[in-house]
Amino acid sequence: MFGYFQLSPDKLGFYVVDVAGHGVHAALLSVAIGHLVTSQYFASQVVSASDAVDPAAMARDLNERFYRDDGTDYFTMFCGVLDRTSERLFFCQAGYPSPILAREDGTTEIVGDGGFPVGLLNPAEFETEVVALSAGDALILCSDGAIEAETPDGIAFGEDRLRGLVASHSHKDVESLPNAIMSALSQWRGGQPLEDDLTVLALARSPAA
């Protein structure tokens, strides 16, 4: 699942979540997370009274809420706040695949270094990191259903192919990129459905923003 919220005139918040497992149990956990992470909850956890931004604070709170000593429920998450005044992206990566940052000059880079899933360990360390996100840049987030998609003979699509696809497409039309990724994965799979669910979220800053 994913969500995004206009926190203030200059701050945009967003998150993506991928619950471990499949079936009814995982679906119920997804519903619980979706009901909890509203715009009000997001803002109360991530932005302090002094206007300081700390996405890791939400990850810590969710970890405390969902961790069980005898449980096996956990989920990966990436949450962030784009501050358009400072042109910085504050983010926390909790086990979710690293996003691809496509710069206006055509270069790409991988953002984040992994982190712990939410609800798996207690205590667990969650950190807020910062990266520049200037006008003309785009951030592309994909769940692991993209890089783990396999050909009929078992070859994974992988991070390098996904990064190459983003690099070749992002500055043509970012809004069409999710469909382009879906099309490429379908072709890679030989027309067979994906074995895992897929989320693609594209966050772009227009050159005039």
Q: Which residue has the tokens 């990724």?
A: 181
Predicted TM-score of the model (pTM): 0.92
In a domain, 125, yes or no: yes
Mean pLDDT (the chain, rounded): 92
In a domain, 90, yes or no: yes
**For the domain that residue 58 is a member of, what is the CATH number?**
3.60.40.10
**103-138 residues labelled b (16+ CB within 10 A) or e (exposed):** beeeebeebbeebbbbbbeeebebbbbebebeebbb
Q: Give the mean pLDDT of 85-98.
A: 96
Query: Quick one: pLDDT at residue 170?
Result: 66
Q: Give the mean pLDDT of 186-192.
A: 93
In a domain, 116, yes or no: yes
In a domain, 49, yes or no: yes
In a domain, 149, yes or no: yes
In a domain, 89, yes or no: yes
| Residue range(s) defining the domain that contains residue 155 | 2-204
Q: Is the pLDDT assigned to residue 209 strictly greater than 60?
A: no
Q: Give the mean pLDDT of 118-140.
A: 93
Q: Is the pLDDT assigned to residue 172 strictly greater than 80?
A: no
In a domain, 209, yes or no: no
Q: Is the pLDDT assigned to residue 208 strictly greater than 70?
A: no
CA–CA separation, 86 and 194 (whole Å): 39
Q: What is the number of domains present in the chain? A: 1
Query: Quick one: pLDDT at residue 176?
Result: 87
